[in-house]
Structure 1
Amino acid sequence: MTAEEVDAFLAEQRTVRVATNGTHGPHATPLWFVWHGGAMWLTSLSRSQRWADLAADPRIAAVVDAGEDYAELRGVELRGRVEVVGEVPRTGEPVPELEGPEQAFADRYTGGTMYHDGRHGWLKLVPEKITSWDFRKVGSA
C-alpha cells in the first residue's frame, strides 16, 4: 500500500491486534485504536497483562487486517515502542496532546463523547517500521 492507502485503511478499521513481550512469552490481544497524526493511539486497561508487559518492555507489534477471501486480504503491521500519554489511569485532566486522539476515538466509538472511567490509559505508538499488504492488487497491472 502507498502511505496514503495505509492512512485511509487505518482510518476505516476499528480493531487492532497488539503483541507485547511478557515474562512468559508473547501476549496478543485486540484493542480499539485511532490513527491520528502519524501515530497509533491505543486505550488500554492500566491494570492488565498488556500494561505490565509494556511497562517492562515498551516494544510492540500491532496488526490491523481485513478481508475474507485470499484476493481480498489486506493489512498493516506497525512496530515500535509505545509511550504513555496522560495520567494513569486516565480521569480526564487536560492533556493537549490527547485532545485530537480522544475526539477521534469518541467520534469513532462512543457517539462523539469521550468517557474517562478511571481504568484506562493512553499509549502512543509512533511506528519505527510499517509493513503493509493488499492482495486485491495481485495480478493487476
Structure 2
Amino acid sequence: MTVTQRRGRKIMMEPAELDAFLSAQRTCRVATVSSDGAPHVSPLWFVWDGTSLWLYSITRSKRWAALRRDPRCAVVVDAGEEYGELRGVELSGSVDFIGEAPRTGEPNNELAEVERLFARKNFGLDEMPHDGRHAWLRLTPGAITSWDFRKLGSP
C-alpha cells in the first residue's frame, strides 16, 4: 500500500518503519459508530501482515455489533510517554468478517498465517487457541497516517 500524507511529512514513518512498528505493537484502539450514532472506542489485540490489520474481537461485544451494522472504522496504534517519544499510526477503512464467527478453528487458508503470527506474538504459541468467543476482522486500510516525533530531534 502506498502511504500518502500531506501534513507532517517530516514525522511520517517510511513504509519499513511502519511495518516494523505495527509488527512490534500489541494493542490498538478501534473506533466504531454505535447504533445511536455515538462513537465507541475500545482496545484490542491485533496482528499486521504487511497489508492488512487483523483484529481478533469478541463476537458478543459492542464493537462487533457496531461493525456488523457499519463496517467503517478507524484504528490507532501508538507508543511513547514523553512528547518527543510519541509515535503511532492511524488506519481507516472498512472491515471484512473472515472465517466462522465465533472462530472454532475450522481449516481456513486465509487465516492460517494470520493465526500463526497472532498466536506467536500474543501467546508465545505456535498454534492459535480458539475459545469459541472470538472471530476475525480484516481491515485493509483505505488511508494511513503515521507520526514519529523522535524524528524532530531534541528541542
| TM-score, length of structure 1 as denominator length | 0.96
Tell me the residue number matched to 2:66.
Answer: 53
| 4+ aligned runs moved over 4 Å, structure 1 | none
Is 1:72 the counterpart of 2:85 in the alignment?
yes
Task: Give, in whole Å, the separation in 2 of the partners of 1:103 and 1:56.
Answer: 29
Deviations 1:2-25 (A, max 9, x none): 111110000011100000011231
Match of 1:127 among 130, 141, 146: 141
Is 1:2 the counterpart of 2:14 in the alignment?
yes
Deviations 1:31-90 (A, max 9, x none): 000001410000000011101000000001000000010100000000000000000010
Gaps of 5+ in 2: 1-12
Contact map agreement 2:84 2:153 (CA 8 A) in 1: no
Q: CA RMSD in A?
A: 1.0
Tell me the residue number matched to 2:5.
Answer: none
> How many pairs does the alignment contain?
140
Tell me the residue number matched to 1:13.
Answer: 25
Tell me the residue number matched to 2:151.
Answer: 137
Structure 1 residue identity aligned to 2:23:
A
Task: Give, in whole Å, the separation in 1 of the partners of 2:63 and 2:92.
Answer: 16
Tell me the residue number matched to 1:26.
Answer: 39
Tell me the residue number matched to 1:38.
Answer: 51
Is 1:110 the counterpart of 2:120 in the alignment?
no
Task: Give, in whole Å, the separation in 1 of the partners of 2:69 and 2:35.
Answer: 9
Task: Give, in whole Å, the separation in 1 of the partners of 2:123 and 2:88.
Answer: 25
For residue 100 of structure 1, report the CA deviation from its aligned partner. 0.7
Gaps of 5+ in 1: none
CA 1:111–1:139: 2 relative to 1, 3 Å: closer
Tell me the residue number matched to 1:96.
Answer: 109
Task: Give, in whole Å, the separation in 1 of the partners of 2:31 and 2:106.
Answer: 29
Give the secondary-structure state (helix, strand or coil) at the position aligned to 2:95.
strand
